[in-house]
């Protein structure tokens, strides 16, 4: 598994991020990509956030709620988390990220500056099922400069995880 964290706190880091993701690779049928915006905070009110953004979240985890329905597991969420996600097996990663960000962009909101927000990031997950014998080869995709710019304007860091698997 390959894990890459790219943070967009200033323009110089954004240019660096572009340099390491300079190639265009489009998704094929053996690929799964999911792009999400995660907004977290101990004092976050997820329902008020949904009302403010006028966006229905994909998932909400509430502080203190059980993380598992299994009776023998009593793990609980330590913070409130509001999530909006889109999955795809056919579009480019940058296109998918822009689709997620466009839901927020017109609102001109710096998400990280909202009341109760402790952390906010754009999460990009990319998984590829390679041809037989190619497990372990590098996975590549690009992030358009617009993705990085819009994420930075919204106060979002960018987290990227990628894997290849036989199944």
- 113-163 pLDDT, tens digit per residue, is 999 999 999 999 988 776 666 666 677 788 889 999 999 999 999 999 888
Residue 149 is predicted with a pLDDT of: 93
pLDDT band at residue 71 under the 50/70/90 scheme: low
pLDDT in tens, 72-120: 778 888 999 999 999 987 668 899 999 999 888 777 789 999 999 999 9
Return the higher-pLDDT residue of 3 and 123: 123
- Owner of token pair 């009341």: 115
Please, how many CA atoms are within 13 Å of residue 62, restricted to the half-sphere of its CB?
6
- Mean pLDDT for all residues in the chain: 78
The pTM assigned to this predicted structure is 0.75
Return the higher-pLDDT residue of 108 and 49: 49
Residue 167 is predicted with a pLDDT of: 58
Return the higher-pLDDT residue of 136 and 25: 136
Pairing of strands 31-41, 119-128: antiparallel
- Token code pair at residue 142: 């690009």
| Cα distance between residue 140 and residue 161, in whole Å | 11
The three-class DSSP label of residue 102 is helix
């Amino acid at each position: 598994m390959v894990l890459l964290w790219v943070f967009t706190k200033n323009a110089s880091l954004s240019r660096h991020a572009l340099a390491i993701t300079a190639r265009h690779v489009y998704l094929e049928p053996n690929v799964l990509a999911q792009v999400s915006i995660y907004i977290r905070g101990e004092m976050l009110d997820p329902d008020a956030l949904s009302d403010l953004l006028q966006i229905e979240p994909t998932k909400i985890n509430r502080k203190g709620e059980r993380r598992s329905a299994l009776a023998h597991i009593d793990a609980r969420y330590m913070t409130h988390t509001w999530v909006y996600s889109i999955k795809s097996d056919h579009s480019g990663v940058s296109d998918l990220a822009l689709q997620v960000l466009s839901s927020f962009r017109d609102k001109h909101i710096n998400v990280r500056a909202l009341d109760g927000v402790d952390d906010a990031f754009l999460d990009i997950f990319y998984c590829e099922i390679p041809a037989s014998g190619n497990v372990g080869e590098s996975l590549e995709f690009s992030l358009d400069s617009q993705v990085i710019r819009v994420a930075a304007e919204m106060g979002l860091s960018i987290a990227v995880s990628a894997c290849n698997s036989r199944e």
